[in-house]
Structure 1
Amino acid sequence: MNLYPVNAGNLKLDGGAMFGVVPKTIWQRTNPADSNNMIDIATRCLLIEDSNRLILIDNGMGNKQSEKFYGYYHLWGDFNLDKSLKSYGFHRDDITDVFLTHLHFDHCGGSIQWNQDRSGYEPAFKNAHFWSNKDHWKWATQPNKRERASFLKENILPMEESGQLKFTALPQNQLLNNSQLGFDIFYADGHTDKQMIPLIKYQDKTIAFMADLLPTVGHLPIPYVMGYDTRPLLTLDEKESFLNLAAEQNFYLFLEHDAHNEIITVQKTEKGVRLRDTFTTKDIFTNL
């Protein structure tokens, strides 16, 4: 198995929204804001090359939205998904599976693109299956008023219309072995219903793709929960449970949204679970 970090682009989000009720005087120590109160955010995806499968976990915002839409998110840097794939010798047509942790636009927007004459939409990965789960799909296609702006129908419905959509089996408990794609999944409901956190066995390590369960290093303290979370009290419990497990079993936490920290490990302290070590992907992924 080979693993590759895929940077689908960088953006900025409001620091207050990213940290909820935590005061700026505290969160700006780890996530400094600019003059508009915006903090650096990545969309760092993960590519798994395993036997005859090439699995992409999440794919960023994509490029089909309007200039006005992207203007809200202050894109920065010259990263994009195609450039990242090309740097490893891959093309989007090589992807066999696109696994979506959840269907918010910054995680699945790259799944769908304009067709050639811009009269409609088509899958951006023509040879891939798109993986979600039935509960989250229903949640996203019948959105609540709180999340409606994050679930864009043009990102979601064409997956089903194409015939390329598949669902993972839902668990009896939070942790389920997913034999369809070869990695375990931790299901979390605090941020959005049935968000999926992949746990990938890589050599002698477990790589946890943290999605929005742990956006950045600055979110390690249990009460530091995003204002975007639909069930923040549930996020508290899920974070605590997962981070304790990560400390006990020495998981390597792959951070999708931290623009400056790629992979971390954590440890238990008197103050709770805290940062132990920080790594680059080149430190951990031996094929890079």
Structure 2
Amino acid sequence: METKKIVFDENRDIRLDLFLHKYFPDKSRSHIQKLIGDGSVLVNNIARKNNYKLKFQDEIVINIKKPVNSGIVPEDIPLDILYEDRDVIVVNKPQGMIVHPASSIQNGTLVNALLAHCTDLSGINGITRPGIVHRIDKGTSGILVVAKNDFAHNKLAEQLKNHSMTREYIALVEGVLKQDSGTIDEPIARHPRDKIKMAVVQGGKRAVTNYKIIERFKNNTLVKCILETGRTHQIRVHMAYIGHPLVGDPVYGYKKQKFNLNGQLLHAEKLGFIHPSTEKYIEFETDLPLYFKKIIDIMKNNK
């Protein structure tokens, strides 16, 4: 798709990337800079750099290529949709569902289900992750928001970056925590010896998890975890780091598990954000899955 823009006097001396970002607010500045770097933007038929200062009556031609067919097959998989409008879809993901396809997994993902539900998903994260702004693990259930256009995606990604999005989880952990509340502020990076795992590593990215005790049992604790940051496996790594791994966690938990589970007992219970278009705060909350409630009932009976 080719688009032409003529520079008028009021835009004289503005940087090329800033000018384009002004006229294409649905695209991030980094996306605009990538288009310029790829040669998809020409000024008077010449490829220029991001910092090129525009001149009166410069002719800018932007060639945005149509997305390549990803080969991802839309699948009629039932979705638990909590909310949907022209900008976002808020979904309650079940435990066991992967969010998007990868090299070894092409079917049964949330993306496969979304593509069967609608075709207007943002393209910022590429053809294998349309609409995906953030993820939750396969073994974790709960709420996540999907962007239906690039404008919404950028607005949501900005909230994730500045930690203004509300994200609260319920977790059942091993052992009995003594403190009623606490904060784990420890950096997370790839495990130095096991590349499948993440770990608390000095020099890693800052990760902050706040937690509050909901209920103590004989050998376990039900905890609310409130994320300030969103690192890979953050709650799982942080709770294991303080000696209280999640029940059922196949990677960071105890080798010998008490229950036959398909993943860790971790549920993304609450999600809140500023709506990209209305600019009003909206919040969503879901109940714990039935299998999670049954384990809690067992804990209560064994107190």
TM-score bracket, shorter-length normalisation: under 0.3
Higher share of residues assigned helix:
1
Normalised TM-score (structure 1): 0.26
Larger C-alpha radius of gyration, 1 or 2? 2
* Higher RCO (Cα < 8 Å, 6 or more apart): 1
